[in-house]
């Protein structure tokens, strides 16, 4: 299994990111447990501290989760939970969202820009992404909103920068980019007021000296920072760049990114003056750490999800498979070719589906197939495939779901939908459907068909006096005698509590009476409590007048009437 983990680590960053992105589209298809979306069931702590606004809705457009970002706009979570998402958008956007929900857009993404009103009425520009995902067979929707106010501000600032040098300096102040200067000869170090504001000082914490500034940098960052400066001094790089941490007045670290360049060198080529710009990265670093934690979390989910996840190249070679897939096929060693675990009878159809997927890369494809485990056990699976392409990289992602239990359930449902549970004979719906087919075939071929209506005379008496277990025993015994006496092609249909209908192709009425002589003879041997015998009343209708306009219903009715005539004659 170590080889599997090493294989995962060898994937490119793009491949890993794509696998993680596909997880949000393919979770879920095999779990049968019901799921109620509450925060205890969901890792909300992952989303609460993200810088983007996150809302999750159920299939009725009701908001079931909103992260703490909503507090920044003067709202609380209670203001949103349980409300329809469209109530917070204008008419044109509402229509887009309603359409997206109506279409149940699985694996689709809606991106739109709209304003979002704070509680005080001020409108904030946002870019939203709306996407569908499934969790435990339930549809949910996630809306991710990115505040564009800072982005819009930066665009305006860049336009100002292009006009004049003086405007550039003013724009740097507004855009949170600071300026620093360093007189390398004397060690004087100066910077704008923003450095003090970020660190919370009223006076210069570095006392205008480079030496003091260097001492303030976190020791873990100092070595790399000085190395980068030295390489620029030696003209090995065209500019200096480095990230570092400095503690603020409250003893909390602030992250900075600095870039700079030597402006003047002496006649020996040694640097004299250097100027640069800096940007605070504290929030960005926090977001990166949150994203890393989230990515690590999703990687664990990918490895341990209930479905197999397989990554193929366009030649169908296995580039990666998760632990669930290897567990499904009982392999510890790395699998390079799916042929090794795919039922050979399914290979042709699998290959055809993969070729179709390559030709239609914008589509997803789902089909059933069979895997074969290392011990030779066949595992029915549902395979869902999607493609991913970018420059220099083409991949097929397969989500493989074990449907063994589903197949077993289908067989059970099929049985109950066709056969009577107690006797094993055809039930009324399936039996009459088959009898109609027999009737149409007899009419087309002009061959005789006999329909028999049977009633067990004393079943009610047995149920009342000996209990329903005894009655069930009689029903099963009657069915057994019928099955042992009739041909395999004859139909036995239980139509009610004590009533059966038989369909006997190529049999005339005189043949039926001979058959029932044998049936009644065998039933004489069946007794309840040693002395109660079983008897049947039956009626036969015969179809052999092929010129007569008649239907199956009238044949059954005729047999039913004759059965009652026999029953009446016994009284």
DSSP 570: T
Look at residue 158 in the predicted model and tell me its pLDDT: 61
Q: Is 354 exposed, middle or buried (0-12, 13-18, 19+ CB in 10 A)?
A: buried
Structure tokens, 270? 């040694």
At residue 112, does pLDDT exceed 60? Answer: yes
Look at residue 494 in the predicted model and tell me its pLDDT: 93
Closest CA to 11 of 251, 271, 318: 318
At residue 461, does pLDDT exceed 80? Answer: yes
What is the secondary structure of 522-563 as a DSSP string? HHTT-EETTTEE--EEEEEEEE--TTS---HHHHHHHHHHHH
Query: What is the pLDDT confidence band of residue 106, given thresholds at 50, 70 and 90?
Result: low
Residues 37 and 33: their CA atoms lie apart, in Å, by: 13
Residues 141 and 132: their CA atoms lie apart, in Å, by: 4
**pLDDT tens string 171-214:** 555 556 777 888 988 889 888 777 888 888 888 888 889 888 88
Look at residue 59 in the predicted model and tell me its pLDDT: 87
At residue 96, does pLDDT exceed 80? Answer: yes
Query: What is the pLDDT confidence band of residue 40, given thresholds at 50, 70 and 90?
Result: low
At residue 492, does pLDDT exceed 50? Answer: yes
313-317 long-range CB contacts below 8 Å, 24 or more apart? 313/394, 313/395, 313/396, 314/358, 314/394, 314/395, 314/396, 316/351, 316/354, 316/396
Q: What are phi and psi of 489, to 5 degrees?
A: -80, -10
At residue 373, does pLDDT exceed 50? Answer: yes
**pLDDT tens string 537-554:** 999 999 988 888 889 999
79 or 300, greater pLDDT: 79
Domains, the chain, in order of start with CATH, read 35-152 (3.30.450.20), 176-285 (3.30.450.20), 305-406 (3.30.450.20), 418-570 (3.30.70.270)
Give Cβ neighbours of residue 74 (< 8 Å, ≥ 6 apart).
118, 119, 120
Question: Which percentage of the chain shows pLDDT scores above 70?
Answer: 83
At residue 394, does pLDDT exceed 90? Answer: no
Query: What is the pLDDT confidence band of residue 304, given thresholds at 50, 70 and 90?
Result: low
> What average pLDDT does range 14-25 have in this prediction?
44
> What average pLDDT does range 509-536 have in this prediction?
85
Closest CA to 538 of 465, 464, 454: 454
Look at residue 35 in the predicted model and tell me its pLDDT: 42
What is the secondary structure of 189-231 as a DSSP string? EEE-HHHHHHHT-SS-TTTTBHHHHHHHB-HHHHHHHHHHHHH
Partners of 393 in beta bridges: 390
Look at residue 336 in the predicted model and tell me its pLDDT: 86
Rg (the chain; Cα; Å): 40
> What average pLDDT does range 161-165 have in this prediction?
54
> What average pLDDT does range 366-374 have in this prediction?
89
Give the residue ranges of DSSP H helices in 369-427. Answer: 404-418
> What average pLDDT does range 222-244 have in this prediction?
89
Look at residue 17 in the predicted model and tell me its pLDDT: 46
Coil, helix or strand at residue 158 = helix
Residues 5 and 100: their CA atoms lie apart, in Å, by: 39
- What's the whole-model pTM score? 0.37
Residues 150 and 107: their CA atoms lie apart, in Å, by: 30
**pLDDT tens string 126-143:** 999 998 888 777 888 889
> What average pLDDT does range 470-499 have in this prediction?
90
Coil, helix or strand at residue 10 = coil
Give Cβ neighbours of residue 413 (< 8 Å, ≥ 6 apart).
none
CB 97 within 8 A of CB 142: no
Look at residue 449 in the predicted model and tell me its pLDDT: 92
């Amino acid at each position: 299994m170590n080889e599997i983990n090493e294989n995962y680590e060898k994937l490119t960053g793009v491949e890993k990111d794509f696998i993680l992105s596909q997880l949000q589209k393919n979770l879920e298809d095999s779990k049968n447990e019901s799921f109620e979306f509450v925060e205890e069931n969901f890792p909300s702590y992952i989303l609460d501290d993200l810088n983007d606004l996150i809302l999750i809705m159920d299939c009725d457009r009701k908001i079931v989760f909103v992260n703490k970002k909503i507090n920044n706009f003067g709202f609380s979570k209670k203001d949103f939970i349980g409300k329809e998402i469209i109530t917070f958008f204008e008419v044109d956007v509402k229509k887009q969202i309603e359409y997206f929900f109506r279409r149940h857009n699985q694996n689709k993404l809606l991106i739109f820009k709209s304003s979002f009103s704070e509680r005080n009425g001020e409108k904030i520009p946002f870019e939203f992404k709306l996407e569908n995902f499934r969790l435990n067979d339930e549809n949910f929707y996630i809306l991710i909103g990115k505040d564009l106010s800072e982005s819009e501000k930066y665009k305006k600032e860049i336009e100002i920068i292009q006009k004049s040098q003086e405007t550039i300096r003013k724009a740097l102040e507004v855009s949170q980019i600071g300026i620093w200067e360093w007189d390398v000869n004397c060690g004087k170090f100066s910077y704008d007021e923003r450095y003090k504001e970020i660190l919370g000082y009223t006076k210069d914490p570095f006392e205008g000296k480079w030496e003091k500034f260097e001492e303030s940098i976190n020791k873990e960052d100092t070595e790399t920072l000085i190395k980068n400066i030295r390489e620029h001094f030696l003209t090995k790089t065209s500019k200096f760049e480095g990230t570092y941490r400095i503690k603020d007045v409250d003893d909390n670290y602030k992250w900075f990114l600095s870039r700079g360049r030597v402006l003047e060198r002496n006649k020996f080529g040694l640097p004299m003056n250097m100027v640069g710009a800096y940007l605070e990265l504290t929030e960005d670093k926090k977001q990166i750490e949150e994203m890393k934690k989230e990515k690590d979390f999703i990687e664990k989910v990918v490895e341990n999800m209930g479905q197999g996840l397989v990554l193929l190249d366009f030649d169908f070679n296995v580039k990666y498979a998760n632990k669930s897939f290897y567990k499904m096929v009982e392999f510890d060693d790395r699998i390079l070719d799916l042929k090794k675990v795919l039922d050979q009878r399914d290979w042709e159809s699998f290959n055809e589906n993969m070729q179709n997927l390559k030709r239609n890369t914008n589509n997803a494809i789902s089909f059933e197939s069979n895997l074969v485990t290392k011990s030779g056990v066949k595992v029915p699976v549902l395979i869902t495939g999607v493609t991913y392409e970018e420059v220099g990289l083409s991949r097929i992602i397969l989500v493989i779901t074990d449907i063994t239990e589903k197949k077993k359930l289908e067989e059970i449902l099929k049985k109950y939908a066709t056969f009577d549970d107690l006797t094993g004979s055809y039930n009324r719906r399936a039996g009459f459907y088959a009898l109609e087919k027999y009737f149409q075939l007899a009419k087309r071929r002009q061959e005789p068909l006999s329909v028999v209506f049977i009633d067990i005379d004393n079943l009610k008496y047995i149920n009342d006096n000996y209990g329903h277990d005894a009655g069930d025993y009689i029903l099963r015994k009657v069915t057994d005698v019928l099955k042992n006496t009739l041909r395999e092609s004859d139909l036995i249909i239980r139509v009610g509590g004590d009533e059966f209908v038989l369909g006997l192709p190529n049999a005339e009425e005189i043949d039926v009476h001979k058959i029932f002589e044998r049936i009644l003879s065998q039933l004489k041997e069946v007794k309840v409590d040693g002395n109660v015998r079983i008897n049947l009343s039956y009626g036969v209708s015969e179809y052999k007048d092929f010129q007569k306009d008649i239907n199956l219903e009238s044949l059954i009715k005729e047999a039913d009437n004759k059965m009652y005539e026999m029953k009446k004659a016994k009284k």
